Amino acid sequence: MLNSDLRTGKLPLKTLFKVILVLIAIILLVVYFILPIELPYSFDVPGKVLAAEEWLIIKSSNGQLLTLLRDNRTGISKSYSIAEFERGDNVKFVINTRITMESLISKSDTIGSILSNELELRLVSLKGQLNVAHSLLNQSLTGEKESLIKEAEDNLALAVGKTELDKKIFLRQQKLFEKGFISEEEFDISKNTLELDEISVEATKARLQTVLTGEKKEQIDLIKSQIDALEKESRSLEKKSASYHLISPLNGFIKWIPAGDTLVVISDTSDFVITLPIPLLKSNEQFAATLKRLNNSIEYLFSKPFILASATVVGPKGNLMPGLMVQCTVKCGNISISEHIKRIFSSEIF
């Protein structure tokens, strides 16, 4: 039978099929190893749309307020500030009543204010001390009448009496504090009151001395230096008070957030950034892509490793909104057919 097939030049169907398979295998091997053919390579991954920049107001675990300006294009925080408060201070954070979820926020708009009871009391106290100091300076430069001497003596007697009374209260509070019957805050209030009384006595004595003998040049210079110190402290506190008004550093919209430590988020929607996972290959081959940013750390999704990347949106923005999930195609350029086959079997693409 075989001799007959050979004489006629015909091969059995089964033999012919084997020959064709061998030829196909040879062609594939030639294409795989020899021919420099490259094909476009891309893959699809989910991505998330973010605002180009976001400004956040966050409440920390210890009650402080933090502000953070984050640039999602670079993944770097551009600025960071902390509003610190005195121990025992009664502090409130109040959102601007004109701010709503639909509001367009402009740069330099006041988003909210921090109300500090301790800061307000210190400012009021400083203004009072400044008024007294200025009055002492004016009186030091002019003559005094007998009625003013009598008034100064009476004021000194009152200040001394109040100091003696508050000293008794302080000693009693000190014993209670040592035994743990009162809080540290209550003890501090008693201590501070006594210290203020003693300062008041010294100031009243100086006032009486002034009206009796008149001030020397050195004493007048001392009062002036005290006024200068009080004014510097007052300016410092006023600057701190101004920093308690939280001003938006960018244009954008208020982002709705669930209840939690993040109080306010303002998103700059004039530009957008998309974050997307770049899957890793199973082999030890280094993976590279032309993107805006690639993290240096490995993340995991569904137990598969990937590197998180960021890409900047160019051209029309359409209906993009921060937080939107989108499907991304990453174009990596042309690779060889052999590389295509290798990646089909070794990639961890989702």
Same domain, 200 and 136: yes
d(CA 271, CA 320): 10
> Which of 264, 298, 318 marks a domain boundary?
264
Same domain, 2 and 85: no
- Cα Rg of the chain (Å, integer): 39
Same domain, 59 and 208: no
pTM value is 0.47
Same domain, 156 and 215: yes
Domain-embedded: residue 216: yes
Sort 211 into a burial class: Cβ within 10 Å, 0-12 / 13-18 / 19+.
Answer: buried
Same domain, 205 and 171: yes
Same domain, 26 and 161: no
Same domain, 154 and 216: yes
* Residues of the chain predicted below pLDDT 70: 1-12, 31-37, 63, 84-90, 102, 139-147, 211-218, 257-259, 280-292, 318-319, 321, 346-350
Domain-embedded: residue 269: no
Domain-embedded: residue 151: yes
Structure confidence at residue 180 (pLDDT): 78
Domain-embedded: residue 148: yes
Sign of CA dihedral 276, 277, 281, 285: positive
Domain-embedded: residue 30: yes
Same domain, 13 and 152: no
Domain-embedded: residue 203: yes
Same domain, 102 and 248: yes
Single-letter amino acid code for the residue at 12: P
Domain-embedded: residue 58: yes
DSSP β-bridge partners for residue 102? none
Structure confidence at residue 284 (pLDDT): 43
* Domain ranges, residue 100: 53-117+244-264
Structure confidence at residue 50 (pLDDT): 86
Structure confidence at residue 262 (pLDDT): 81
Same domain, 196 and 219: yes
Same domain, 154 and 257: no
Same domain, 129 and 105: no
DSSP β-bridge partners for residue 58? 66, 262
Which helix (H) or strand (E) segment is 128 a member of?
Answer: helix 117-140
Domain-embedded: residue 270: no
How many residues are present in the chain?
350
**DSSP states of 159-180:** HHHHHHHHHHHHHHHHHHHHTT
Buried b (16+ CB within 10 A) or exposed e, 56-77: bbbeeeeeebbbbbbebbeeee
Count up the domains in the chain and report the number: 3
